[in-house]
């Protein structure tokens, strides 16, 4: 049979055809800043955020290192579909470019920023980018709890809940 | 990183349960009815009568295979339309006799969604459970039967995990109930779209009153289906207009489609013993190779037996710790075409209702791939998949933070 070409075409069950953008494909097929298996502890992260669960279909973990007010390193692992993997990968790139993003700016990253940077996501994949954004927030929250304020169980619980 | 891309990428099509290519002989049979024999079969002039004759030949051929009379064969616009006509057509016509319907949790959406609509209209639906192999319990069916049950709809074979339901036994139970209760109800419908090219279709032995078949799963054309409707059973037409199809389905007939469907059914039924055996062996080889080369995988559905328990071409496997759509997209890059029960490829973002109804945890359903083999597949195709799939799985597991324990 003949060659199918290189562009993966996906059709959802409503019959809408859509294509992943080249940026999504690049990050999906060549993920950036991936946390290698077994090196999680060696990385000595200042903050770690985990959102979603495999039962929901997506789980993302982001590890960050912080120096003064900047994120100087960021690694991730994702269980999920193509756009979930691409969303986390592109987010790590956004955070690390130009010598690292200031924490206050990182907290301002929205799902829309991730989608724009990916050159768009199909409508039913928007939640993937939302999860990336939440994982980064959770990682920053974790860093704050560990190094900035002394957390009590009560405040920690409510803050985490809010950030999710 | 990922396994290097092949120099000679080939297309390995492993999604025959989604649809099949049209057999060359089928296409040859259809060809004259596009340009040469184009007339409207309702026309009483010579060329119209000729085309009408082709439709009736097709009807007779299909009726013979089903061991039925020609006027029980209604041509429709596909499997979904046949399912809709069987369900809505029957219950709207017979609702004075009762408003209870029995079906199964793992049916196709072409059955489940009409039933959901009927529920909103005041019908009561009982959905039978399935065990981990996707099989129903006849006792549960017997217990669900009521005096006001008017319709039972149970698929012949499941599209996702290939489970074959014992339609003949179910049909006998229903006959027994009718006799004991001195009633003509409930009627029995079976969606046989996945089974049509593979299993025996004798409606007398299956004891069905209504049966759905379509062209596009058995190397026939898309957009054409059959609803077998037992003589004497009256149903309400859903598409109203001209008097085609004994007044049960209006609209000028899809003549090439009808001719093609009949040819496809004839060819697949003729070759089914040989082809089933070949596919069962090929599937066994595939499964053994997968087990040899990839850790942490689980077979979904029943054990790999013969066509009495599982469709010969169906292999549904969960790869733990990774997600189905990601696998599907990577495989596509290597020319390997599959499908998944993951939420990500469904419009609703829900994992496969079939896999979860079988008791599979969501995280397992999300990591499932369905391979459905067919006529074009050879051992070389399987070897090609085995060359690339283990590396893809390994890479995606490197990306994944999940490390599940294997549940048996």
Residues of A annotated as catalytic are 56, 128
A43 in contact with B at a CB cutoff of 8 Å? no
| Cα distance between residue A103 and residue A142, in whole Å | 13
Give the pLDDT mean for B19-41: 97
Identify the residue with better confidence: A11 or B175: B175
Question: Which of A122-131, B25-34, B212-221, B322-331 has the weakest average pLDDT?
Answer: A122-131
| Cα distance between residue B31 and residue B38, in whole Å | 10
3-state secondary structure of B80: helix
Per the prediction, chain A carries an average pLDDT of: 83
Residues 6+ apart with CB under 8 A from A95: A64, A71, A74, A101, A106, A109, A136
CA B322 from chain center: how many Å? 27
B344 in contact with A at a CB cutoff of 8 Å? yes
- ipTM, 2 dp: 0.86
| Cα distance between residue A37 and residue B311, in whole Å | 39
- Residue pair B189/B209 in contact (Cβ under 8 Å)? The answer is yes
- Around Cβ B45, how many Cβ atoms within 10 Å? 9
| Cα distance between residue B247 and residue B365, in whole Å | 43
Unique residue bearing structure tokens 């599940």: B404
Please determine, for residue A11, whether its predicted confidence score (pLDDT) is greater than 70: no
| Cα distance between residue A117 and residue B342, in whole Å | 26
| Cα distance between residue A60 and residue A56, in whole Å | 11
Q: What does the pLDDT read at residue A162?
A: 41
The percent of residues above 90 in pLDDT, for chain B, comes to 93
- Residue pair B211/B220 in contact (Cβ under 8 Å)? The answer is no
Residue B170 is classified by DSSP as: H
Question: Which of A90-94, B63-67, B342-346, B398-402 has the weakest average pLDDT?
Answer: B342-346
Token pair belonging to B324: 């189905």
Q: From the candidates B193, B344, B358, B376, which is the catalytic residue?
A: B344
> CB distance A59–B2 less than 8 Å?
no
Give the pLDDT mean for B69-75: 98
The percent of residues above 70 in pLDDT, for chain A, comes to 79
Q: Which of A6, A55, A124 sits opposite B362 (nearest CB)?
A: A55
| Cα distance between residue B91 and residue B372, in whole Å | 34
| Cα distance between residue B397 and residue B389, in whole Å | 12
Please determine, for residue A10, whether its predicted confidence score (pLDDT) is greater than 70: no
pLDDT tens string B271-309: 999 999 999 999 999 999 999 999 999 999 999 988 999
B401 in contact with A at a CB cutoff of 8 Å? yes
- Residue pair B370/B338 in contact (Cβ under 8 Å)? The answer is yes
| Cα distance between residue B356 and residue B348, in whole Å | 15
Residue B123 half-sphere exposure toward CB, CA atoms < 13 A: 29
CATH 3.40.640.10 fits B25-267, yes or no: yes
B211 in contact with A at a CB cutoff of 8 Å? no
> CB distance B323–A14 less than 8 Å?
no
In chain B, residues with a C-beta closer than 8 Å to the C-beta of A58 are 323
Between helix A22-29 and helix B324-333 the angle, nearest 10°, is: 100
Q: What does the pLDDT read at residue A164?
A: 41
Rg of chain A over CA atoms, in angstroms? Answer: 17
Q: What does the pLDDT read at residue B341?
A: 86
Residue B369 is classified by DSSP as: E
Q: Domains, chain A, ranges and CATH?
A: 16-146 (3.90.1010.10)
Is B325 exposed, middle or buried, given 0-12, 13-18 or 19+ CB atoms closer than 10 A?
Answer: buried
> CB distance B13–A1 less than 8 Å?
yes
Q: What does the pLDDT read at residue A151?
A: 53
Unique residue bearing structure tokens 């057509």: B89
> CB distance B11–A1 less than 8 Å?
yes
Q: Confidence band (pLDDT; 50, 70, 90) for A149?
A: low
- Tally C-beta pairs within 8 A across A and B: 105
In chain A, residues with a C-beta closer than 8 Å to the C-beta of B326 are 28, 80-82, 84-85
pLDDT tens string B215-244: 999 999 999 999 999 999 999 999 999 999
CA B172 from chain center: how many Å? 22
In chain A, residues with a C-beta closer than 8 Å to the C-beta of B320 are none
> CB distance B345–A78 less than 8 Å?
no
Q: What does the pLDDT read at residue B4?
A: 84
Q: Confidence band (pLDDT; 50, 70, 90) for A158?
A: very low
Residues 361-400 of B with CB under 8 A from A: 361-363, 366-367, 376, 397-400
Q: Confidence band (pLDDT; 50, 70, 90) for A157?
A: very low
> CB distance B366–A54 less than 8 Å?
yes
The pTM score is 0.91
- Residue pair B134/B161 in contact (Cβ under 8 Å)? The answer is yes
Shortest Cα distance, chain B CAs vs residue A152, angstroms = 28
Q: Do domains B12-21+272-399 and B25-267 have the same CATH topology?
A: no
B56 in contact with A at a CB cutoff of 8 Å? no
pLDDT tens string B104-156: 999 999 999 999 999 999 999 999 999 999 999 999 999 999 999 999 999 99
The residue in chain B having the minimum alpha-carbon distance to the alpha carbon of residue A11 is B345
> CB distance A124–B329 less than 8 Å?
no
Q: What does the pLDDT read at residue A56?
A: 83
Task: Please state the domain extents for chain B.
Answer: 12-21+272-399, 25-267
- Residue pair A46/A64 in contact (Cβ under 8 Å)? The answer is yes
Architecture of domain B12-21+272-399: Alpha-Beta Complex (3.90)
A71: β partners: A66
3-state secondary structure of B371: strand
In chain B, residues with a C-beta closer than 8 Å to the C-beta of A124 are 347, 349
Shortest Cα distance, chain A CAs vs residue B295, angstroms = 17
- Residue pair B129/B176 in contact (Cβ under 8 Å)? The answer is no
Residues in chain A: 164
């Amino acid at each position: 049979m003949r060659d199918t070409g290189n562009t993966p075409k996906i059709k959802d069950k409503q019959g809408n055809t859509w294509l992943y953008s080249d940026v999504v494909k690049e990050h999906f097929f060549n993920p950036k800043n991936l946390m290698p298996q077994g090196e999680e502890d060696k990385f000595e992260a200042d903050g770690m955020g985990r959102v979603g669960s495999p039962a929901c279909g997506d789980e993302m973990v982001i590890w960050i290192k912080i120096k003064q007010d900047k994120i100087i390193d960021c690694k991730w692992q994702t269980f999920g579909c193509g756009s979930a993997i691409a969303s986390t990968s592109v987010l790590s790139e956004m955070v690390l470019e130009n010598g690292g993003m200031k924490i206050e700016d990182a907290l301002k990253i929205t799902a829309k920023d991730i989608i724009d940077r990916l050159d768009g996501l199909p409508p039913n994949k928007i939640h993937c980018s939302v999860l990336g954004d939440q994982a980064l927030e959770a990682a920053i929250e974790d860093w704050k709890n560990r190094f900035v304020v002394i957390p009590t169980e009560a405040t920690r619980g409510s803050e985490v809940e809010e950030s999710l | 990183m990922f396994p290097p891309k092949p120099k000679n990428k080939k297309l390995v099509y492993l999604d025959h349960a989604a649809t099949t290519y049209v057999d060359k002989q089928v296409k040859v049979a259809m060809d004259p009815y596009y340009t040469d024999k184009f007339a409207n079969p309702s026309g009483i002039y010579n060329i119209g009568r000729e085309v009408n004759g082709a439709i009736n030949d097709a009807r007779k051929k299909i009726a013979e295979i089903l061991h039925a009379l020609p006027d029980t064969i209604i041509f429709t616009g596909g499997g979904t339309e046949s399912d809709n006509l069987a369900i809505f057509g029957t219950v709207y016509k017979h609702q004075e006799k009762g408003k209870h319907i029995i079906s199964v949790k793992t049916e196709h959406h072409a059955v489940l969604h009409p039933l959901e609509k009927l529920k909103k209209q005041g019908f009561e639906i009982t959905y039978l459970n399935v065990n981990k192999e996707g099989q129903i319990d006849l006792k549960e069916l017997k217990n669900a039967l009521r005096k006001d049950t008017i319709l039972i709809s149970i698929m012949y074979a499941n599209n996702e995990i290939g489970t074959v339901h014992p339609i003949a036994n179910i049909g006998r139970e229903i006959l027994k109930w009718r006799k004991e209760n001195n009633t003509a109800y409930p009627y029995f419908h079976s969606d046989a779209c996945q089974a049509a090219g593979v299993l025996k279709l004798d409606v007398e032995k299956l004891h069905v009153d209504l049966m759905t078949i379509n062209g596009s799963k058995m190397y026939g054309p898309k957009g054409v289906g059959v609803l077998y409707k037992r003589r004497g059973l009256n149903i309400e037409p859903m598409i109203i207009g001209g008097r085609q199809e004994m007044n049960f389905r209006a609209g000028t007939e899809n003549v090439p489609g009808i001719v093609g469907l009949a040819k496809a059914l004839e060819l697949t039924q003729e070759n089914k013993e040989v082809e089933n055996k070949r596919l069962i062996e090929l599937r066994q080889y595939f499964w053994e190779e997968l087990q040899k080369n990839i850790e942490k995988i689980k077979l979904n559905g029943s054990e790999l037996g013969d066509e009495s328990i599982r469709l010969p071409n169906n292999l549904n496997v969960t790869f733990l710790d990774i997600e189905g759509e990601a696998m599907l997209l990577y495989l596509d890059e290597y020319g390997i075409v599959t499908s998944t029960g993951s939420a990500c490829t469904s419009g609703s973002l829900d994992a496969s209702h079939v896999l979860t109804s079988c008791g599979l945890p969501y995280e397992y359903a999300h990591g499932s791939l369905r391979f459905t083999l067919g006529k074009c597949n050879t051992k070389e195709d399987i070897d090609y998949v085995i060359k690339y799939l283990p590396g893809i799985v390994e890479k995606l597991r490197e990306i994944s933070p999940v490390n599940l324990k294997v549940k048996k």
